[in-house]
Structure 1
Amino acid sequence: MAYSLDGVLVFGLLFVCTCAYFRKVPRLKAWLLSGSGVWGVFYKAAVIGTRLHAAVAISCIVMAFYVLFIK
């Protein structure tokens, strides 16, 4: 699963959802989501997760349905 497109999509969705959750936790927000350097990837994923929360939630539901029932 890690070397397929399905695995990459699941990893991406979980990464975006996790970073968006970390943005809500004050202690983790100050430490992990600084927005500079390598940590900028976490910041950008958190911004995508919070601004596109409806699209991310729908795609998580669709991917869960796909992994559980179709694959």
Structure 2
Amino acid sequence: MTNVYSFDGILVFGLLFVCTCAYLKKVPRLNSWLLSEKKGVWGVFYKAAVIGSRLHIAVAASCMCMAFYLIFLK
């Protein structure tokens, strides 16, 4: 179990947030509702979705590395 206040907990939260927003971008009804704003507080969801969709190979590799770290090294 990772602690949110540790550095690896923050990394796990960030990766899961980016992956979730990229997934929600593929759902048409949620895309128009949640990811329509590009500025402000709701713009964070849009920006995370863009990062997840454009850098999907890097995000996937980061998720695999973090999973390996959490399962075997921690």
TM-score normalised by length of structure 1 = 0.97
- Deviations along 1:22-53, whole A, 9 cap, x unmatched? 00000000000012321100000000000000
5+ unaligned residues in a row in structure 1: which ranges? none
Farther-moved stretch of structure 1 (3-12 vs 35-44): 35-44
Gaps of 5+ in 2: none
Match of 1:7 in 2: 9
SS at match of 1:2: coil
| Structure 1 equivalent of residue 30 of structure 2 | 28
Alignment root-mean-square deviation, CA: 0.6
TM-score w.r.t. structure 2 length? 0.93
Aligned to 1:59: 62
Count residues in correspondence: 71
Higher helix share: 1
Q: Once the two structures are aligned, what percentage of the paired residues are identical?
A: 75
SS for the counterpart of 2:61 is helix
Structure 1 residue ranges, 4+ long, deviating more than 2 angstroms after superposition:
none
Structure 2 equivalent of residue 42 of structure 1: 45
